[in-house]
Amino acid sequence: MESRLSFSPRLAVLVASLSLGVILGGAGPGPVAGLTEAEEAKVGRSYLREVHQCLKNHWDPTDITTGDIRGLSASVWVRISSSGKLSDYRVERSSDVSAFDRAVEKAIRRCDQVSRPPREIRKRILQYGIEIEFRPAD
């Protein structure tokens, strides 16, 4: 049985109601000089897709039965370095199921590296990191 996971990435520097379930925290002073909020959001969505794909490729919930995974979610803050290394993370909201939380952390460690954050949003990603919500797909 194949387990699917959908991610709801959250980047604290873009605008609300974007695709991929991006929910933004409103932190930061507004868009980068020279970019509209929509342009910054487009750059951010593209980068988040890459991070999402890397984490999805490394998600392995084999220690969790399908029934146990349904309805679970965990939110994890991830720091991405200027080189694209996933350099630090912390669980912001646990699923309260240790096997699920361990699978989330393992996906982050296995992903390890993505491309450099785009120039247009690099400063904000370095300053705020990103928050990703892991939850099984319906």
5-11 and 130-136: which strand pairing? Answer: antiparallel
Domain ranges across the chain: 5-75+87-136
Query: What integer pLDDT is reported at residue 32 of this predicted model?
Result: 56
Scored b (16 or more CB within 10 A) or e, 17-34 reads ebeeebbbeeebeebbee
Among left, alpha and beta (phi > 0; psi -120 to 50; other), residue 35 is: beta
Q: Which of 49-53, 78-82, 133-137 has the lowest mean pLDDT?
A: 133-137
Confidence of residue 110 (pLDDT cuts 50, 70, 90): very high
Determine the average pLDDT of the residues in 99-104.
90
21 has pLDDT over 50: no
Distance CA 27, CA 24 (A): 8
C-beta of residue 108 within 8 angstroms of C-beta of residue 90? no
